[in-house]
């Protein structure tokens, strides 16, 4: 077994949700009176906690308008937007294979809120796949490594026995700060060249290759 603990980012790594995030953030910014947000700029902040994402997208925004934007984003993501969100093909089967050795643990480290992650767990019936999870609103946002430190402590796993898998620089730099192995996936939001700067131990170009590598 290559790793006792495999930690996944969610959006852009397991679930194809970037289009929904972009659409909701753009609608929220318009309704908050900020104006139109560029699609590329929104894709850039996927993976961060929502307050950090808003601050980066809207420099100088005041607290009142930021709260309006946050609440409108939450509304659109839950109720107002119907852009489909699905697991990338092969993810569900791959996770089922990874769970086979009883000693291996699976976890999620995400920029989502706890409410948002629990909702998607319920809607996709996927919460049962994971032994632990951390969200940006219950600890520090990526790229700070606190959520990884907490997962290691909760599951009693040494950093050398764990790996972080993600599609953004934020995921990989979070792991790099701890000296944790990290794997980049190229089907998400950050370019391969940008991911390479974080020195991943492996870069997966498709879902099948990722799970094959993890199981070697």
**Which residue pairs from 116-123 have beta carbons closer than 8 angstroms and sit at least 24 positions apart in sequence?**
116/74, 116/77, 117/10, 119/78, 120/10, 120/15, 120/85
| Short-list 211, 216, 179, 215, CA closest to 13 | 211
The first and second tokens of residue 141, run together, are: 């946002």
Q: Which among 9, 16, 171, 181 is annotated as catalytic?
A: 9
d(CA 48, CA 45): 6
By the 10 Å C-beta count (0-12 exposed, 13-18 middle, 19+ buried), 50 is classed as buried
Residue 9 a catalytic site member: yes
Residue 11 a catalytic site member: yes
d(CA 46, CA 2): 29
d(CA 182, CA 14): 15
Residues forming a β-bridge with 11? 15
End-to-end CA distance of the chain: 7
| Short-list 143, 129, 157, CA closest to 48 | 143
Catalytic positions are 9, 11
């Amino acid at each position: 077994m290559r790793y006792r603990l495999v930690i996944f980012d969610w959006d852009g790594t397991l679930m194809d949700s970037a289009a929904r995030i972009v659409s909701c953030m753009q609608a929220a910014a318009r309704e908050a009176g900020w104006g139109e947000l560029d699609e590329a700029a929104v894709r850039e902040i996927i993976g961060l906690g929502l307050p950090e994402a808003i601050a980066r997208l809207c420099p100088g925004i005041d607290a009142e308008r930021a709260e309006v934007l946050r609440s409108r984003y939450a509304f659109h993501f839950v109720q107002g937007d119907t852009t489909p969100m699905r697991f990338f093909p092969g993810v569900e089967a791959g996770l089922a294979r990874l769970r086979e050795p009883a000693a291996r643990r699976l976890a999620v480290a995400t920029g989502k809120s706890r409410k948002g992650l629990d909702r998607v767990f319920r809607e996709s019936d996927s919460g049962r796949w994971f032994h632990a999870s951390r969200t940006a609103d219950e600890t520090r946002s990526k790229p700070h490594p606190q959520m990884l430190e907490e997962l290691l402590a909760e599951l009693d796993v040494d950093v050398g026995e764990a790996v972080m898998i993600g599609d953004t620089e934020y995921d990989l730099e979070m792991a790099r700060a701890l000296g944790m192995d990290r794997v980049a996936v190229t089907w998400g939001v950050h370019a391969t060249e940008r991911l390479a700067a974080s020195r991943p131990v492996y870069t997966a170009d498709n879902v099948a290759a990722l799970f094959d590598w993890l199981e070697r």
